[in-house]
Amino acid sequence: MRLSPEQRAQFDRDGYLFFPSLFTPEETRNLTKAVPDLYDRREAYNVREKGSDAVRTNFAAHMISEPFAKLARHPRMIEPVEDLFGEPLYMHQFKINGKMAFEGDVWQWHQDYGTWLNDDMMPTERAMNVAIFLDDVNEYNGPLMFIPGSHKKGVVEARHDLTTTSYPLWTVDNDLIRQLVERAGGKNGGIVSPKGPAGSMILFHSCLVHASGSNLSPFNRVSVYLSLCAVSNHIRRFKRPEYIAHRDFTPIECLPDDCLLKDYPVDLPWKNGLPGSALVTSSDPIDAIKKAA
């Protein structure tokens, strides 16, 4: 799936693109059916909500589950980002965020690149998220909120919030959020929230400031996120475990467009358990590790 000149211009202006119902109900069901088994596993890659057994984030499903391994190579998710970067991509991060009914906690205001820069030493913001809704997303179940055009500010100041939720995040303070929202239009479009049926997709810039509220509704809001990075922009530090920030910089090769409906061979290296190597971390840059070896 390739982007039109109009879509490129819209992305440059707003920092995101929304594709309602891009995946069919059958394609989406094939993904959704695989989620309970992943969430049931007592592995480090399942981060649960603070004070709850509900899964907040599942990492690295593409290394474990066949449907998600195929999604990780789907042209509808990969090709638009290749268009924007003009080079091959690798999978920096793969997660299934489970904002579960009544239990899904907030995601504070943040830029994804803030975390990738501070924790992973990713050189530039040549990486972005592609999200697909596995549930219908409405105003009640904690939809994503974006500040349009906030990616134009580049990397903004952030602090490392280790206490608000069960997952540490580099967050943006309220005063700056007020300024960015006012700059984007205040009450008239300063915050937008794409909503739509399961199977819809959002592509958004790694510097786009975004957040989501808690889910107080009886409706789940599970979404898959592919964090795709230009190969030349690969991370330079392995401070976080491999199941969170991947270390294989091999370019992604797309499968055919019907891969979610038909059998195609995919590798599932962690299917039978998380290897010890996926838990090893280091605060040293990669170059220093290589020299020491």
Please state the domain count of the chain.
1
Distances (CA, A) of 283 to 163, 214, 239, 241, 248: 22, 33, 5, 11, 18
Residue 189 inside a domain? The answer is yes
Residue 282 inside a domain? The answer is yes
Q: What is the pLDDT of residue 292?
A: 46
What average pLDDT does range 53-72 have in this prediction?
94
Domain interval for residue 29: 5-253+267-292
Residue 94 inside a domain? The answer is yes
Residue 104 inside a domain? The answer is yes
Q: What is the pLDDT of residue 71?
A: 97
Read off the pLDDT of residues 232-245 as tens digits, 9 standing for 90 and up: 999 999 999 999 99
Q: What is the pLDDT of residue 263?
A: 94
Banded pLDDT at 293 (limits 50, 70, 90): very low
Read off the pLDDT of residues 157-172 as tens digits, 9 standing for 90 and up: 878 878 777 777 788 8
Q: What is the pLDDT of residue 74?
A: 98
For residues 31 and 225, the answer to whether their CB atoms sit within 8 Å is no
What average pLDDT does range 117-138 have in this prediction?
95
The three-point CA angle 93-144-180 to 5° equals 100
Residue 129 inside a domain? The answer is yes
The whole-angstrom separation of Cα 111 and Cα 211 is: 9
pTM for this model (two decimals): 0.91
Cα dihedral 146, 150, 152, 155 in deg (nearest 10): -100
Q: What is the pLDDT of residue 54?
A: 87
Label residue 186 left, alpha or beta by phi (over 0 means left) and psi (-120 to 50 means alpha): left
Q: What is the pLDDT of residue 288?
A: 56
Residue 258 inside a domain? The answer is no
Read off the pLDDT of residues 3-22 as tens digits, 9 standing for 90 and up: 999 999 999 999 999 999 99
Q: What is the pLDDT of residue 160?
A: 81
Residue 178: CB partners within 8 Å, gap ≥ 6?
A: none
Distances (CA, A) of 175 to 42, 109, 151, 171: 39, 11, 17, 12
Half-sphere exposure of 281 (CA within 13 A, CB side): 11
Banded pLDDT at 290 (limits 50, 70, 90): low
The whole-angstrom separation of Cα 291 and Cα 284 is: 11
CATH number of the domain enclosing 152: 2.60.120.620
Judge whether residue 153 has pLDDT over 50.
Answer: yes
Q: Which residue has the higher pLDDT, 143 or 170?
A: 143
Residue 183 inside a domain? The answer is yes
Residue 260 inside a domain? The answer is no
Which of 39, 20, 34, 77 is closest to 226 using CA atoms?
77
Read off the pLDDT of residues 203-235 as tens digits, 9 standing for 90 and up: 999 999 999 999 999 999 999 999 999 999 999
